[in-house]
């Protein structure tokens, strides 16, 4: 454990203003502590109270937490509700005219929709899904651009109890195929194309390619939303979105589901080659996202909320499709990219839509600093009252810029630590309760028993690094890995942790008890705030006919946080000609783009005759990491079978 050491020494502390504290939902440290104490006194009673007060139940629950089949926990098991009802119908009596979504398209066109119309369109679409025979428990893949329709597709599934699995539009047809088959989906919802940065990027063709890769015979319907009006191929089971909803009623009685009914599956990378289908519940998940909207985003009815995440990631599930709608918020959703037509786009949108709460990722902040650090000053950002960050640790320089240049030194920053598996924020400031420091996600949310432990699962002292765990089950957590109970158990509840949830991150606490996330403990990279398994990229490379073996490591990157570096051994001889080597590297880079998606493309590929291995044949990744970073190799290489290979890889053409 002694080698988990933090290099961050940040002493600056920022307090919320008196005005902010006065208006906050959780106002002052004592209010935060009172919630924590309530949870400590009566853990299940605490969650039960919140679940009764926060959610609208069709049938109230009597059971709170069932731990008898741990780690397969059940919360509020005998209660019944519908998530889409909680997100839409719940607001119709008083807020039907309130704007739910402000959609800004890539070209700047703005479309607004209020709760009444959104409800009607979700109902129509849900009826359309039913007309195709889609029922409670069926899996539906959603492969769509950021759009009002993407939100409708997700809410429509939730309304009829179908389980959606959104696949990020940047993933390749191969990734799509794997998810369709793993989930045994009965339908795919897609668009002809997506528009980003002024370019038309096909989507439907990737669905067609996914089908050509193998048997997807569970899929009976492919629903296509016309976004770009471009030419696409057409098959028997295809149906246009507009034809599906034509003549459908705008009323649709929700399917009342039990609290534990799976709301969605979302695939994420792990330390093996195959992505994990993270399965979430209905009630526990919704409770988590709603509480974090109130506690962390300090949500107010007149807020204009903007989370920039795509619905293809967990952040877009929790803080676009479910959290803000369940709160009855007005939110901005954006089709395009932050740098088009220029790096002032976000700031222009904040000004135009009078955004109050802005939530984005450190990688976006860093790239916007680089492309136009002074640009925010050209816009009126005075509507902002709270800023958020997610996906990776935010470096103090980016934090300070975000705080001063975007937030005008007036807006607290909530640095939110959480994961696909936790469903909602776990460690994050309650901005009216605690002071913040650049680079730390501060303290756990009330009821979340986060701790740092050693390999034996024993808690370590403050200032020491260790594994981040959550000691008690919590309502919003992952319920299973779709179809793989054993992997679920092994990945998150290994025996050494004595029943605690192992997050896969290392962290330390400072003298104030604040958590500092240090990085992953498994073979998972964090590229632009997105999780990529090294094994996943390695198996993609190894699947290329030219490749005998591959090893992938991460290297710090100024904008992306981490960049992918691959070491590859070819089946044939290693080319002497640097041009030839570059050509092969380019071919392999594109190959990874096709196998997984553009985000997984290695920045650098080095060809070697071999990889550094121990005598037992294990690849010594720490040496590869040093080479990738251009560091001197100071580590012990005495167990290395083939030391000469290090020189070759160091000098390899990049």
CB closer to ligand PRX out of 123 and 532: 532
Binding to ligand PRX by residue 417, rule CB under 6 A? yes
CB of 181 vs ligand PRX, minimal distance in Å:
22
Place of tokens 């454990």: 1
What DSSP designation does 7 have? -
Distance of CA 602 to the CA centre of its chain: 21
Nearer to ligand PRX, 420 or 477 (CB): 420
Which residue in the set 355, 390, 452, 553 belongs to the binding site for ligand PRX (CB under 6 A)?
A: 390
Question: CA 322, CA 318: separation in Å to the nearest integer?
Answer: 5
Nearest approach in angstroms of CB 520 to ligand PRX is 5
- Number of H helices and E strands in the chain, helices first, is 21, 30
Q: Among residues 531, 555, 589, 621, which is the contact residue for ligand PRX, using CB under 6 A?
A: 531
Closer residue to ligand PRX, CB minimum distance, 88 or 289 = 289
Residue 505 makes contact with ligand PRX by CB under 6 A = yes
Q: Which is nearer to ligand PRX, 259 or 451 (CB)?
A: 451
175 touches ligand PRX (CB under 6 A): no
| Interface segment toward ligand PRX; rule CB under 6 A; list 329-337, 386-394, 488-496, 543-551 | 386-394
Residue with smaller CB distance to ligand PRX, 146 or 193: 146
Task: Write out the DSSP string of 217-280.
Answer: TT--EEEEE-SS-------TTEEEHHHHHTT--S------EETTS--EEEEE--SSSSPEEEEE
Q: Which residue's CB is nearer to ligand PRX, number 8 or number 31?
A: 8
Q: Between residue 305 and residue 324, which ones bind ligand PRX under the rule CB under 6 A?
A: 314-315
| Stretch touching ligand PRX by CB under 6 A, among 166-174, 322-330, 391-399, 626-634 | 391-399
- Helical axes 43-54 vs 283-295, angle rounded to 10°: 90
Nearer to ligand PRX, 39 or 507 (CB): 507
264 scored as a contact of ligand PRX (CB under 6 A)? no
Candidates 112, 310, 297, 107; CA nearest to 199 is 107
For 147-236, strand residue ranges (E) read 163-166, 187-191, 193-196, 199-202, 221-225
The full DSSP string for 514-549 is -EEEEEESSSEEEETTEEEEHHHHHHHHHTSTTEEE
Each residue of 374-403: b (16+ CB within 10 Å) or e?
ebbeebebebbbbbbbbbbbbbbebbbbbb
- Smaller CB separation from ligand PRX, 292 or 420: 420
Q: What distance in Å separates the CA atoms of residue 529 and residue 367, rounded to the nearest whole number? A: 13
**Chosen residue from 76, 103, 168, 418 binding ligand PRX by CB under 6 A:** 418
| Other CB atoms within 10 Å distance of the CB of residue 641 | 14
Given 16, 170, 393, 423, the residue binding ligand PRX (CB under 6 A): 393
Rule CB under 6 A: say whether 303 interacts with ligand PRX.
Answer: no
Chain residues that interact with ligand PRX, rule: CB under 6 A: 268, 314-315, 390-393, 415-420, 441, 503-505, 517, 520, 526, 530-531
């Amino acid at each position: 454990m002694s080698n988990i050491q933090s290099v961050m020494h940040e002493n600056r502390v920022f307090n919320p203003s008196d005005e902010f504290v006065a208006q906050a939902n959780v106002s002052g440290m004592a209010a935060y502590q009172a919630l924590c104490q309530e949870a400590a006194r009566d853990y299940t009673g605490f969650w039960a109270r919140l679940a009764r007060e926060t959610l609208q139940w069709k049938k109230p629950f009597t059971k709170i937490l069932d731990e008898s089949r741990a780690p397969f926990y059940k919360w509020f098991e005998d209660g019944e509700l519908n998530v889409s009802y909680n997100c839409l119908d719940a607001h119709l009596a008083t807020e039907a005219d309130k704007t739910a979504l402000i959609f800004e398209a890539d070209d700047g066109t703005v479309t607004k929709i209020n709760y009444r119309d959104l409800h009607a369109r979700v109902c129509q679409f849900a009826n359309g899904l039913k007309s195709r025979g889609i029922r409670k428990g069926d899996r539906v893949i959603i492969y769509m651009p950021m759009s009002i329709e993407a939100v409708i597709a997700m809410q429509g599934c939730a309304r009829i109890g179908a389980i959606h699995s959104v696949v990020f539009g940047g993933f390749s047809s191969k990734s799509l195929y794997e998810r369709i088959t793993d989930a045994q989906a009965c339908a795919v919802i897609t668009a002809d194309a997506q528009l980003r940065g002024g370019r038309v990027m096909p989507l439907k063709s990737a669905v067609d390619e996914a089908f050509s890769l193998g048997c997807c015979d569970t899929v009976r319907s492919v629903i296509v939303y016309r976004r770009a009006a471009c030419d696409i191929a057409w098959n028997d089971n295809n149906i246009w979105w507009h034809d599906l909803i034509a003549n459908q009623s705008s009323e649709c009685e929700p399917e009342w589901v039990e609290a534990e009914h799976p709301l969605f599956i979302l695939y994420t990378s792990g330390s093996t080659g195959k992505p994990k289908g993270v399965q979430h519940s209905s009630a526990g998940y919704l409770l988590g996202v709603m509480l974090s909207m109130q506690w962390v985003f300090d949500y107010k009815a007149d807020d204009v909320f903007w989370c920039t995440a795509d619905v293809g990631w967990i952040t877009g599930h929790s803080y676009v499709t479910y959290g803000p709608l369940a709160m009855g918020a007005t939110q901005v959703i954006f089709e395009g990219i932050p740098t088009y037509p220029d790096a002032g786009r976000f700031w222009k949108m904040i000004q135009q839509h009078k955004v109050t709460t802005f939530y984005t990722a450190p990688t976006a902040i860093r790239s916007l600093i680089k492309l136009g650090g002074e640009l925010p000053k050209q816009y009126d950002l005075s509507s902002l009252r709270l800023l958020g960050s997610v996906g990776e640790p935010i470096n103090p320089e980016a934090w300070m810029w975000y705080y001063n240049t975007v937030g005008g030194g007036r807006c607290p920053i909530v640095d939110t630590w959480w994961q696909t598996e936790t469903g909602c924020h776990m460690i994050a400031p309650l901005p009216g309760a605690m002071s913040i420091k650049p680079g730390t996600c501060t303290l756990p949310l009330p009821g979340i028993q986060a701790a740092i432990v050693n390999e034996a699962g024993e808690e370590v002292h403050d200032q020491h690094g260790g594994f981040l765990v959550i000691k008690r089950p919590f309502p919003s957590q992952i319920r299973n890995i779709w179809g793989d109970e054993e992997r679920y158990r092994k990945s998150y509840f290994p025996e050494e942790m004595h029943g605690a949830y192992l997050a896969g991150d290392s962290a330390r606490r400072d003298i104030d008890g604040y958590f500092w996330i240090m990085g992953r403990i498994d073979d998972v990279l964090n590229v632009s705030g997105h999780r990529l398994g090294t094994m996943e990229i390695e198996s993609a490379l190894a699947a290329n006919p030219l490749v005998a073996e591959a090893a992938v490591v991460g290297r710090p990157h100024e904008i992306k946080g981490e960049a992918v570096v691959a070491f590859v051994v070819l089946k044939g001889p290693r080319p002497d000609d640097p041009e030839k080597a570059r050509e092969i590297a380019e071919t392999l880079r594109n190959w990874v783009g096709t196998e997984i998606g553009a985000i997984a493309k290695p920045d650098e590929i080095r060809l070697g005759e071999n990889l550094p291995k121990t005598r037992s044949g294990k690849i010594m990744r720490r040496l590869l990491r040093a080479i990738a970073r251009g560091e001197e190799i100071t580590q012990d290489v005495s167990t290395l079978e083939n030391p000469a290979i290090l020189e070759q890889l160091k000098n390899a053409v990049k």
